[in-house]
Amino acid sequence: MIRDFAIVWSERGLLLSGLGNTTILSVLSAIAGLVIAFGLTPALMSKQRWLALTVRVFVDGMRCVPFLLFAYIVYYGLPSFGIRLDNWSSGLVALTVYHAAYLAEILRGAWAAQPREPIEAGIAFGFSGPRLFRRIILPPLLLAAGPVIGNQMIQIVKDSAFLTIIALPELTHAASSIQSRHYVPFAAFITAVVLYWGLCLVIEAGVSGIDRLAAARR
Amino acid sequence: MIDDMPVLDVAGISKRFGDLEVLTDISFTVTRGETVCVLGPSGSGKSTLLRCINWLERPDAGQIYLNGDRIGINNGGVVMSDRELSRVRTRIGMVFQHFALWPHLTVLQNLMEAPVQVQKRPAAEVREEAMALLAKVGLSDKSDVFPARLSGGQKQRVGIARALAMKPDVLLFDEPTSALDPELVGEVLLVMRELAREGRTMVIVTHEMGFARDAATRILFLDRGRVVETGPPERFFVNPDTERARQFIQRYAAG
C-alpha cells in the first residue's frame, strides 16, 4: 500500500496540475456564475411578469437537469447547432451556467426574506435601477446568504469532477490517469479526495470570514 | 415672487388600493419653514399621503409640486422614468417608522451613501457635514458603529441625520416614534423640536399629540382619506371646527 502511495507521489506533477486546473475551473465559474446570478436575480424579482417567468423557467429547468447530462449537451450537443467549443470552454460554460441558476435562486430567496423598508429607503433617497441593486439590495443579500453561497461553491468544485468525461485535465482526470497507468486505484483516488477536501476547507474559511462580517451587522 | 411660492403644493391627490379609496381629493400647501403635523385615526391614509408625495405610491389623481416642479409627471406630460423620479426624490428627505437604515453600512456610511452615490457630492465635504449632523443628533461617538448595535432611539436619530445629509427642500416623517419603546420617544422628539425651531420645512405624520401641539405651525387632520380640518395647533386642540376632530382629540387626551 505504501508502495502505491509512493507511485502516486512520483506522479505528483500530474496531480498538482490537475488540482490547479480544478481550482481555475472552480474559481472562474464561481465568479462568472455569481455575476450572471446578479443579473438573473433582479429579473426573478421583476414586476415584469414575462421577464420573471422566462428567467424562472430557465432557473427551474437548470436545477432539474443532472450536471453530467448538461455537460454532455454543451460539449456533444451544441455542435449540432454549429456551436463548437473546446473541452475547456465547454466545461467552463457548463459549470458557470448551471450554477448561476442555483446562485440566482439562492439570492432570490435571501432577497424575499429581507425587510422591505431599507430598500424603500434606497428608492426614497434617489437610488434606482442597477445602482439600487448594487449599493442597497445586494450587499445585505451576500452577507445573509454567505454560508449558502459557500455551499454552492463546494458544489461547483465537486461538479467540476464530472468534466473528466470531456477529457478536461482536472483533478479527477489526473487521478484516473495515474490509476490506469500504474493500477493503483485506491491510492490515486483517495489522494484526489484529500485534495478536494483541502479545497473545500479553503472555501469554508472564506465563508466563516464573511460570516464574521455579517455578524457585526446583525 | 419666489418667496410666496410654497415649498410643497399638494393639489387634489386621490389614491385607491383596489376597491378601497384611501385618499380622496387631498389638497394642502407647505410654505418654507413650516412644520405641518398630519394627525388622524389609524387607517385614515396619513402614511399613504406621505408616500404619495415622493411617489413611493403613485397617486391616481392630482398634482404635487416641489418648489414649483411637478413631481411624478415630466414636462412632456408623461409619467417620469425611474431615473427622473430619483432625481426629484433626492430633494425630499424621508424618515421611516422602522428606521430603514442600511444594515451593511456604518452610521457614518449611512449618512454619506446617498449624497456621495446619488448626488455625486465630494466625499470629503459630505463626511465633514455628516459628522456635524451626527454631533447635532448626539451620536458623534457612534459614527463607526453598525445600525444593529444601536437602540431604537439612536437608530431613528441616525435616520433623521441621514435625511438631513441630503440637504432636502422638505423633510417627511412617517410616524417616526411609533416603533419606539416609550422611554426612547423623548430623545427623538427632542431632535425634531430642534429642527422645527430652526425652521426646517417638515411634514410629520405622528400620534404624539403633545409634540404636535408644541412644535407644529399647522395641523392637518385626516379622517377616512379626507382632510377634515386644518389650522394652527392652538385652535385645533382647544377649539376645533369639526365634531370629528373634537372626538379625536378627546380620545387622545383621555388615553
Report CB contact under 8 Å: A218, B103: yes
Q: What is the pLDDT of residues B92-129, one digit of tens each?
A: 999 999 999 999 999 999 999 999 999 999 999 999 99
Residue A121 has its nearest CB partner, among B90, B100, B104, at B100
Model pLDDT, residue B164: 97
Question: Which grid cell sits at B8?
Answer: 410643497
Partner B contacted by A139 (CB < 8 A): yes
Beta bridge partners of B94: B172
**CB-based contact (8 Å) between A120 and chain B?**
yes
Which residues from chain B sit within 8 angstroms of residue A137, using beta carbons?
none
Q: What pLDDT was estimated at residue B58?
A: 94
Tell whether the model's pLDDT for residue B1 goes beyond 50.
Answer: no
User: Residue B254: is its pLDDT beyond 70?
Assistant: no
Spell out the residues 6+ positions from residue B102 whose beta carbon is closer than 8 angstroms to its own: A118, A121, A122, A136, A140, B109, B110, B113, B147
**Is ipTM over 0.90?**
yes
**Of residues A116, A120, A108, A123, the one with CA closest to residue A58:** A108
Backbone angles phi, psi at B221, to 5 degrees: -100, 120
User: Could you tell me which of B169, B233, B158, B157 has the C-alpha nearest to residue B200?
Assistant: B169
* Count of helices and strands (H, E) across chain B: 9, 10
Chain A residues close to B114, C-beta within 8 Å: 125-127
Closest-CA distance, A9 to chain B, in angstroms, reads 47
Q: Is it the case that residue B2 has pLDDT exceeding 60?
A: no
Q: Which residue has the cell 399638494?
A: B10
**Residues of chain A below pLDDT 50:** none
Q: pLDDT band for position B149 (50/70/90)?
A: very high
Distance CA A200, CA A196 (A): 6
pLDDT at B77: 86
Residue B43 pLDDT: 86
Which among A125, A139, A216 has the least Cβ separation from residue B114?
A: A125
